[in-house]
Structure 1
Amino acid sequence: MADGASFGVLVLNQISKAGLERLPAGRYRTGKDITAPDAILVRSADMHAMDIPASVRAIARAGAGTNNIPVAALSVRGIPVFNAPGGNANAVKELVLAGMLMAARNLPSAQRFVEGLDPADPHLDKTIEEGKKAFAGFELGNHTLGVIGLGKVGALVADAAIKLGMQVMGYDPEITVDAAWSLPSQVRRAASVEDVLKNAQIVSLHVPLLKATRHLVHAGNLRLMRGDAILLNFSREGVVDDAAMVAALDGRQLGCYVCDFPNPLILRHPRVIALPHLGASTREAEDNCAVMVAEQLRDFLENGNVRNAVNFPDVSMGRGSAWRVAIANANVPNMLGQISTTMAHAGLNIHNMVNKSRGDMAYTLVDVDSAVEAPVLTALAAIEGVLAVRYLPVSA
């Protein structure tokens, strides 16, 4: 879109004002009634059945997970899906700590006991003293916490647990270099999921829901856990086989299950603490996520730069000229050669170029020394394997 033109952003959920303010009103139109939008801002709305307009160039999810977005279908159209990794990490960490404390000290059961007391009981103090014996718990210090998934949330949970005096063991076969550097040195490396389940009294799950992680905790490995162990799941519902977990609770193979995903299988189970998906439900987390994705979205719409897209490589390049072309394409041989040749045939001199790939997707930014005419953009779009072409000039 040419410099000076406005961008329309369709907003599917209530998005923090702090984030929307990063899309200045003079250039951006935001709301729930935007027609032919250039982008879509979303939180939890399910987009799988949505007819996403052909005008859309990007999707931005004000949160970490993108299960509600048809990422694969959008990739085919050359549309990046942005998210906010780490934007709600502290909020989730604090809720995990709250879950550990609720389970270790039997707080939900104790609260239900208090709510059932009779204010008119003449022996209320005695009733309380007698009743509290059923809710004796244990302190977290010196117990072992196992963390499965050592991304931003897992690392924060591990660090907080160490500060509480706990021993921590962690497992993550896909850990990144940055995540490894941020991990406290006291975390003992586990050899497998089974190693964690067998040796930790408290286990906290922090993995995305993928084909490889669905029912990561199942009947087979639940048998390895201690009968008084606590399992916490604040990642995704499908990571735990709920039927197997309930059977483990009933068979005294597991002490307590704490999660953020209520469902009919676990509701009202006496040793399940289920919260109503509160992980990111803080003012701070909503602001952080909205600000992060709004800034990413703006940089993409105006400059073509990509940061934190779940289906695109990270590609950023400072402006070297007033004329920029952004190209999303399949990651196949000779794409750069064809792009360069097409521009050369049009008499365009390439000032700067960057190309990166991620799996089947590649992305190219090209700054040229003169204006790009419409026939050149049409020729670029016609190259086999090119998914999307955008022209991003700026005023002199």
Structure 2
Amino acid sequence: MKIAVYSAQPYDRRFLDEARPNGVEAVYFSDRLELDTVPLAQGCTAVCVFVNDLLDAPVLEALHALGVRAVLLRCAGFNNVDLQAAGRLKLFVARVPAYAPEAVAEHALALVMTLNRRTHRAYARVREGNFALDGLLGMTLHGKTVGIVGAGQIGAAAARIFHGMGCKVLVSDPAPTPQLEGVAERASLDALLAQSDVVSLHCPLLDATRHMINTASLTRMKRGAMLVNTSRGGLIDTAAVIEALKSGQLGALAIDVYEQESTLFFQDHSSDIITDDVFQRLMTFPNVLVTGHQGFFTMEAMREIAAVTFANLACFLQGSPCANALLTPG
């Protein structure tokens, strides 16, 4: 059988080919899945997609008409999939719910450390022979309060990392968090925002969490605090964050995700004019650090993604129960 892999980069091909079982043919496309690129899946039984591929009702219907019967997400988030439409079409949909969660948690720490101690600016200075320390002053994280919003596997890993650094860790999550006993204190979101020197987002993008960081919640944050987002760009109202940065209410921002990233991330735009004015405004702030959705990008995580993706495919082909399925043909 044949699967169409969308948004495929060279590293995707490497790790998927390493894990691909005999009898499965993968055809790779760098194109993002959207209505115009659906015909690339002609002759394929399944599609394999990533975070910025579009799987709304028209796309799913067009895929179904081509004979596609399975959607394999090589990521944990599924907010880009119309599950109601997929269910109506009796499609198999499965994801990779966790892949080296420590990878994203460690990247969140790297963003905090880089932005706090200005190591990115120090690196550029030293390469120019400038060893002055003015403008590089940071804070000692030991003893500071770090708020973790979302205590899934990634959030829990982040909580343990910051606890190990001597930080007081607060966690806000609607579910119980017995795995963090002795590591973090539970708090309401409002209390967490008011007390935290660093707020790190690790929750899924749902209707209830979209723009959870907005003008009102930014006002409730401790003045001068740092905000970190390695989860989903839509958790943050970027325009509101820009205003908070301008006023000094928000002290610093580190993001690995961006609400409109689908037209920017995972591609080389170094020779292009970027027309996203909001993103360009963000890049003018010296206290903003942006990486291009690389938090997951470790060898261990890529191998796990590939292995689980093909295990999910095996469940579909064999008609066996799949722990990672969001939908199975009824």
Could you say which TM-score interval applies, normalised by the shorter chain? Answer: 0.7 to 0.9
1:107 deviates by 2.1
Residue in 2 that maps onto 1:56: 68
* Residue 293 (str. 1) matches residue 309 (str. 2): yes
Change (3 A) 1:203 1:244: same
TM-align CA RMSD: 2.2
**Structure 1 residues 77 and 234: alpha-carbon distance in aligned structure 2, compared to 1, 3 A threshold:** same
- CA shift for structure 1 position 204: 0.2
2:232 to 229, 236, 259: 236
Query: Higher Cα Rg: structure 1 or 2?
Result: 1
Select 1:197's aligned residue among 183, 187, 193: 193
What residue identity is the alignment partner of 2:210? Answer: R
- State the partner residue of 1:150: 151
Residues 63 and 88 in structure 1, CA contact (< 8 A), matched pair in contact too: no
Question: 1:220 is matched with which residue?
Answer: 216
The whole-number CA distance in structure 1 between the counterparts of 2:227 and 2:44 is 43
Separation in 1, partners of 2:205, 2:322 = 24
Return the alpha-carbon distance in structure 2 between the equivalents of residues 212 and 286 of structure 1. 30
Q: Partners in 2 of 1:111 and 1:226 — Cα distance?
A: 29
Q: Partner amino acid for 1:182? A: Q
Say whether 1:267 aligns with 2:275.
no
Specify the alignment match of 1:247 in structure 2: 243
In structure 2, distance between residues paired with 1:160 and 1:169: 13
| Superposed displacement of residue 270, structure 1 | 1.6
CA contact (8 A) 1:215 1:241 kept: yes
Question: In the TM superposition, what is the alpha-carbon distance from 1:34 to its structure 2 partner?
Answer: 6.2
Question: 1:277 — aligned with what?
Answer: 293
Deviation at 1:268, TM superposition (A): 2.2
Equivalent position of 2:166 in the other structure: 165
Residue 182 of structure 1 is aligned with which of 176, 179, 195? 179
Kindly indicate whether residue 146 of structure 2 is the aligned counterpart of residue 104 of structure 1.
no
Contact 1:257–1:271 under 8 Å retained in 2 = yes
Q: CA deviation at 1:295?
A: 0.6
* CA displacement, residues 362-389 of structure 1 (integer Å, 9 cap, x when unaligned): xxxxxxxxxxxxxxxxxxxxxxxxxxxx
Amino acid at match of 1:158: A
Partner of 2:135: helix, strand, or coil?
helix
1:240: Cα distance to partner? Answer: 1.0
Deviation per CA, 1:229-268, whole angstroms, max 9, x where unpaired? Answer: 1110111111111111111111111110100135234122
Matched residue, 1:258: 254
Deviations 1:49-80 (A, max 9, x none): 64313422211111112244343321211213
Question: 2:204 pairs with 208, 214, 221, which one?
Answer: 208
Which residue number corresponds to residue 342 of structure 1? none
> Structure 2 length as normaliser, TM-score?
0.81
Contact preservation (8 Å) 1:23, 1:298: no
CA shift digits 1:29-59 (9 cap, x unpaired): 3224764322212224623364313422211
Q: Which runs of 5+ in 1 are unaligned?
A: 1-6, 120-126, 313-326, 329-396
Distance 1:219 1:114 in 2: 38
Residue 72 (str. 1) matches residue 88 (str. 2): no
Q: Distance in 2 between matches of 1:308 and 1:182?
A: 22
Query: Which runs of no fewer than 5 residues in structure 2 stay unpaired?
Result: 29-39, 259-278
3-state SS of 1:256 partner: strand
Match for residue 53 of structure 2? 46
Using the TM superposition, give the Cα deviation of residue 160 of structure 1 relative to its aligned residue in structure 2, in angstroms: 0.8
Q: Is the 8 A contact 2:255 2:289 kept in 1?
A: yes
- 2:2 equivalent in structure 1: 8
Cα distance between partner residues in 2 of 1:288 and 1:185: 29
Cα 1:86/1:68, change in 2 over 3 Å: same
Deviation at 1:184, TM superposition (A): 4.4
Asked whether the equivalents of residues 243 and 265 of structure 1 are also in contact (C-alpha less than 8 Å), the reply is: no
Q: CA offsets, 1:290-329, max 9 Å, x none?
A: 11121122122113322212345xxxxxxxxxxxxxx51x
Question: d(CA) in 1 for partners of 2:310 and 2:213?
Answer: 35
Residue 88 of structure 1: CA displacement? Answer: 4.3
- Are 1:233 and 1:258, in contact at CA under 8 Å, matched by a contact in 2? yes
- Aligned AA (1:53): H
Q: CA deviation at 1:9?
A: 2.0
Aligned equivalent of 2:34: none
Residue type of the alignment partner of 2:304: N
> CA separation in 2, counterparts of 1:141 and 1:72?
46
SS in 1 for 2:64: coil
Amino acid at match of 1:248: A
